[in-house]
Structure 1
Amino acid sequence: MVTAEFKKQVIAKLVEAESISGLSSKRYAVKIGINPSQWSRLKAGEIDGVLADSRFITLARLNNLHTGDQQEWKTVETSTYKYIRSLLQTCKEECISIMLADLADIGKTYAAKLYARETKNAVYIDCSQVKSKQLFVRELAKQFGSNHTSKYSEVYNDLVFYLNSLHNAIIIVDEAGDLRYDAFLELKALWNATEGNIGWFMLGADGLKATINRSIANKKVGYTEIFRRYGSKFRQITPQGREALDDFKREQVAQVIEANAPAGSDVQKLVKASGFSLTNAYNMIRVMNNRSRA
């Protein structure tokens, strides 16, 4: 059962997120997928009969909200976290474009998502969920609270107009290697239409680098231009060499485990058991924390 307390917690978290987003109340309502009048009623303290109970659960899930006695994950400023934050801030402040292609499971996505949640006029897009041109542009428009349900040309033009009106905004394009060809070309078009007014940060792993290099080698239209617009190079944080890479991963995993594992845990034992994988470390700690609360 969804309690009144749960609803209040969800609303409080969303109000806090709205204040950070830089969006108007109407645009923020569009972003989270509810009617602006409903959002106004919720913020005014009217919680019964405004939304279905199931909708509150969906809002909490889609917006990554921790409520009640759930243990929040403690963010650790690992080397990856600090490097990506610095690149994102540079992109945003200088309205430039940067591309980072590095190994999976080093905390890239976590750092990018958190930056977007904590930063005004910053939007994060997971391209693995919106691979086509239409899905990508409509989702981007929604995240900025813009018209995203009308005819495609109107959605695109409204989005471009709004983006060019913003000050120091950034769009984070994660899992970019999953985009279909038509979406890559539209990404180039959006860059052209907002040049100098928006910061862009493209993020991916080996697949992104391989796709771009292969497409440039095969002279596929658009890829050379995209690569140039993002600085003509792939940034990375991980060091070269197996030993140096293992040390890098081990240090990050140890930091995360030490900050989030239950008190009294054998950190080094957990680090070894994780195989220096942040994903494995997260799953182990989640299970341990659930057991400690049981």
Structure 2
Amino acid sequence: MSNAPFWRGVIPAITTPFAADGTIDHAFLAHHARTMIQAGCIGIVPLGSLGEAATLSFEDKCAILRTLVEALEGKAPVIPGIAALSTDEAVRLAREAEKIGCAGLMVLPPYVYSTDWREMKAHVEAVIRATSLPCMLYNNPIAYRTDFVPEQIAELAAELPNLQAVKESSADVRRFAAIRALLGERLELLVGMDDAIVEGVAMGATGWIAGLVNAYPHESVRLFELARDGGARAAQELYAWFLPLLRLDTVPKFVQLIKLVQEQVGLGSERVRAPRMALEGAERAAALVVIERAAATRPVR
């Protein structure tokens, strides 16, 4: 699979569905992944922040990957997030993902511990070198307190041939231009924050690791295509409708919010795994106002 098509398009950061007893709902997970691909998404990213990966055991993660690889039958790549408390566990998960049949990896810095460039570079380098799979570096300094700046990304790209892409979630769209200035077309650039998709595409991004796509797959794919093919002006009307929902992706309870949207549109359940709890009271009511307003004015597909 060549570099460009693998990363270019909308790739859901898929949520992890839970049954009433708290176990993973594998049947719905498989169905949901197929729904995303049928809507025009080009791959699936499980085990990310939105997938509640920090609450999943190693065995949970492997079971999710097996379900998705089997469900998609090679029609679209499964690209799991690889994050752990220790480098050894992250390397182990990366190797297991390759054995299961995943097509690529999204490599994160370690959970909890964040430090200097020497240690963070050693961690992601160990994971990327652990397999032959194409890899995407996930830069999210807000969530993980580790910021891979463009110069450091260029250093990694020079040393790691299978590093093919960067998911940029620093909230600074200038990063895209900076990476391009250093690396040209060496890496594919993907937007990691829903409410920056049009701006990110304008700055050179060619892919979108999306969150609200779990509830609105057709609209997400259409928005990306409009921004890619016609620029901000072409995407303006759909983006204006979508933005109140997309902004739900950038707050601390984004998992609960996105799952609530899924439930409201009939594409999932709002069940989350502790320590998260489903929204209630005024917080839930305020979210429902946003969700219901969007549903009432939903563009005709």
Please report the TM-score for the alignment, with normalisation by the length of structure 2. Answer: 0.36
Say which one has the larger Rg. 1
Higher relative contact order (CA 8 A, sep 6+): 1
- Whichever structure has more helix as a proportion of its residues is 1
